[in-house]
Amino acid sequence: MMHSMIKMVDKVVQFKTAKAHCDIPCKIYDPSTALLAALSCVRLMDIIKEVEGEVGVAEVAKVSRLVAEKEAACTEVKEAVRIIWGDYFKAPQFEQIPNAHELTHSIMLQASKCKQGINRADGEKLVELVNEFAEAFWLTKGVSTYRAACPYPPMLDTVYPDLKG
């Protein structure tokens, strides 16, 4: 009903059309947020494993907090990747990265799998998928990348943009 009324008023007044293609200023995208969250997921899985087998209220409370943080990290991975895929990737990027849809979907599924369990191999696979996404993203920007072990636990290989080149 409200929509119909506004359309009728628009025919008379002819409102100017506002256009925007994203939520934030153009070109402010970076997959590092997703990478840090994926690494955090693996680290939290490791800490959960360290507490495994210990029984007591304090340990149960600790595991509860760790699980909540792990799940939040997985959600952050999904959110960061979804924003880049949905707001930044357009026809030119999809031409450069023809598997962008499949890669993004794989990240979503893997992050969900990590939320459901504490298998480190699942977390490592999530990091690898996000690394592939980061490489693809930087390729679309014309920025070369390199891999190096992150300098903190879980010390997994991580994609970094080579900003000196």
Instruction: Report pTM.
Output: 0.84
pLDDT tens for each residue of 94-135: 999 999 999 999 999 999 999 999 999 999 999 999 999 999
**Inter-residue contact 137 to 31 (CB < 8 Å):** yes
Task: Please classify residue 16 by burial: count the beta carbons closer than 10 Å to its beta carbon, then call 0-12 exposed, 13-18 middle and 19+ buried.
Answer: exposed
| Distance separating alpha carbons of residues 64 and 109, to the nearest angstrom | 23
pLDDT tens for each residue of 9-57: 667 777 676 554 455 566 789 999 999 999 999 999 999 999 988 889 9
- Going along the chain from its start, the domains and CATH numbers come out as 26-161 (1.20.120.400)
